[in-house]
Amino acid sequence: MGIATYSKFDTYKHLLFSLPFPLEDEALINKQFLLDKDDKKKIEIYYAPFEYVNEQAKVMIVGITPGLHQMKMSFSTALDMKNQMVDDEEILQEVKKRSSFEGSMRKNLIAMLDELQLHSYLGLSSTSEFFNTASHIVQTSSVIPYPVFYKGKNFSGSTPNLLKTDLLMKYVIECFATELKKLHNPLIIPLGVNVTKVLNFLADNHYIDSNSILYGFPHPSGGNGHRHKQFSENKEDMKQKIQSYFR
């Protein structure tokens, strides 16, 4: 368990804790939290405290990158806890619980995971418990752990091509691949085709075993109009994979 080795929380927490509440977008998307950028490709990467790694996780759920909504939720969660008698690890753990895939995406994610009966193999009544009482058995993550914006909008993972963008791949290797090394072969659930492409690259380069990847899971965003069709087409294969993984 613990804070990721690439964590920058200690560097940024004093800035974060000094922010006025309620949070405005401009307070987050500005120079003081800018980690990296590629002017030519119109990409900017900002800090957000999504750095807790649950090394005992049995399941890892992976998105592309936190969006602005999740970024704002992560800052709000950290601010909520700044005056409590808790250490950095507890703050970052709470950020993951409250902020990962927060919003309609989380609701859709839980509904699909429950339909696959994943919870039954883990002794849960629903995978909704991943985000509260059963957070100790899940690692929520992103192939780029910090919020990425393309032309000022949430980066979707497709344009520009993540695998062909040096700046983005730097974070995949230095952050996400480092995180994977700390885990003990969890079932990895990539949310959508763009995440799957990155995981396939990592499998091809021996960072992970492709047998641990649950293929066919759609991105749970409400904006993904194909998710129901994709889910139904792959549902039985995914159920079999889960069954064999936890048998």
> Which residue bears the tokens 């004093």?
14
pLDDT at 221: 86
Q: Where are the domains of the chain?
A: 2-246
DSSP alpha helices (H): ranges in 18-67?
25-28
The answer to whether 103 touches 24, Cβ cutoff 8 Å, is no
pLDDT at 5: 86
So what's the pLDDT on residue 225?
81
User: CA torsion sign, 65 to 90 to 187 to 181?
Assistant: positive
Residues pairing with 142 in the sheet: 63
Give, for 14, the enclosing helix (H) or strand (E): helix 9-17
2-246 is a CATH 3.40.470.10 domain: yes
**pLDDT score recorded for residue 21:** 84
| pLDDT by residue, tens only, the chain of 247 residues | 788 888 999 999 999 999 998 899 999 999 999 999 999 999 999 999 999 999 999 999 999 999 999 999 999 999 999 889 899 999 999 999 999 998 899 999 999 999 999 999 999 999 999 999 999 999 999 999 999 999 999 999 999 999 999 999 999 999 999 999 999 999 999 999 999 999 999 999 999 999 999 999 999 988 878 899 999 999 999 999 999 999 8
Q: Is 242 left (phi over 0), alpha (psi -120 to 50) or beta?
A: alpha
DSSP 99: H
- Predicted local confidence at residue 6, as pLDDT: 87
